[in-house]
Amino acid sequence: MSSTALRFRTARAYTRNSSKQSILLARTFASTTRRYEINKVLPSAAEALKDMKPNSTVLCGGFGLCGVPDTLIDEVINKPEITGITAVSNNAGTDTSGLGKLLKTKQIKKMIASYIGENKTFEKMYLTGEVELELTPQGTLAERCASGGKGIPAFYTPAAFGTVVQTGELPLKNNPDGTPHQYSYPKDVKVFDGKQYLLEESIKGDYAFVKAYKADKLGNCQFRLTANNFNGAMGRNAKMTIVEAEHIVEPGEISPEAVHLPGIYVKRVIQSTTTKNIEKYTFAKDPNDPEAKAALGSGETAAKREKIVRRAAKEFKNGMYANLGIGMPMLAPAFVGPEVEVQLQSENGILGLGPYPVKGKEDADLINAGKETVTLKPGAAVFGSEESFGMIRSGRVNLTILGAMQVSGNGDLANWMLPGKIKGFGGAMDLVSNPEKTKVVVTMEHTDKKGNAKIVKQCAFPLTGRACVSMIITELGVFDVDIATGLTLVEIADGVTVEEIKSKTEAPFKVADDLKPML
């Protein structure tokens, strides 16, 4: 058949079936009018949770008190029949806010979290067996939630190798007297490119409670600043994602490139009705103000810590990306000269962390990993926790400075738990998971309050990471750490002798031939 005849035949067939073609096009391409018939907005939290069942797994966004879906949490309190909850969240808020309120009402049976923090109710309930706790490194938790939403059942991670997370020696539930009743299970280990990784199972949620800045009727969501944290990963995961938004807008009012959580993941949207809270108000101070130095302590303690922090600041090199732990490490940037530009990363989702805000300029949606109010530098970026820890594990962060309770002679680090007290891992296990690419520097006083050595032959406290520390800075000196050859004293503080350091150091060490004064 000629091409001309074929075209005529096709045209006749199209004409005969024109009505069918119109129906087909209408079904294939939703018109603007039909698309706007989708409306996921419900009138209240009560309506959104009307069919919620007991014994559900609930993924709850938020970090500290930032980005926490309090409207939905408060509504669960109004439904006392909803019990046996397994709550998945970075932390459980405080004694009087966030998931802490559901712990008090005994509606939570189990927490999967990275951090207990200052929540005394949570800590007491765990230690006395009233609630189960699957303590999980923060980056692993973010990835378990993110992977569960992508249909990936499990993955391998370098974080927590050689710790109680890997060996299964972490109590999941305690007896009323504080003794372990049930332990976690050992994790499978596999070697990739000569490095050991743990197998972690993804988390699957029945419900996800998400806090958004804006949401439209289609369920598209936009997060604001560090309120993104775990909200995006958890919102993509659950069978029933419910979003509470500060502003409910019409479709199109959130520009496409500003949609952080697409509506395909969201089932229901409600108006957020709770006030945003700030856990730790922290403000900028004049360096000459006595209060500015109070962060270092007072008297001899302050002098020791300032010496440590000043030396740690020398580790910053121009163009570095660095992550700083809570406490002394956070003070180091104040001692960095203007000739050095460093981009500070905060694991709750900031690259380009700025100084503390001036009083009155604090923002509930802008906090650091220590839950303190902060600012952003020009050119900063914000993102979700799962992306933040991807940067960390893959070695994009050049330097991390952490505190410690103990460091061993071969670079093992213990900094998350003391006997009888438990705060949680936070992000530390992830931060030290790639020491080949991220230099791990420990800043700490040389001995504890009782005069016991903190640089030891073998850590007595549970490990954060094995053979991960590259340098130790104390008020007495600086040690380089080599996992094969051990410690070498490379700098010594003014007025200190090698014999004094030996008397206060349990682990053996060599002295560098060119031992230098501490900078």
Catalytically active residues are 347
Measured distance CA(226)–CA(90) in Å, rounded: 14
Pairing of strands 195-201, 154-157: antiparallel
Name which of 165, 118, 81, 116 is nearest 429 in CA terms: 165
In three-state form (DSSP H/G/I as H, E/B as E, the rest C), the secondary structure along 438-487 is CEEEEECCCECCCCCECEECCCCCCCCECCCCCEEECCCEEEEEECCCEE
Can you say whether the dihedral through the CA atoms of 141, 93, 328, 412 is positive or negative?
A: negative
The Cα angle at residue 266 between residues 260 and 269, in degrees rounded to 5 = 100
Q: Which amino acid is at 31?
A: S
Residue 290: left if φ>0, alpha if ψ -120 to 50, beta else—which one? alpha
* Cβ atoms within 10 Å, residue 36: 14
* Measured CA distances, 55 to 49, 66, 78, 401 (Å): 14, 26, 16, 41
d(CA 236, CA 241): 8
The pair of structure tokens assigned to 276 is: 């945003």
Q: Of all helices (H) and strands (E), which one includes residue 393?
A: helix 385-393
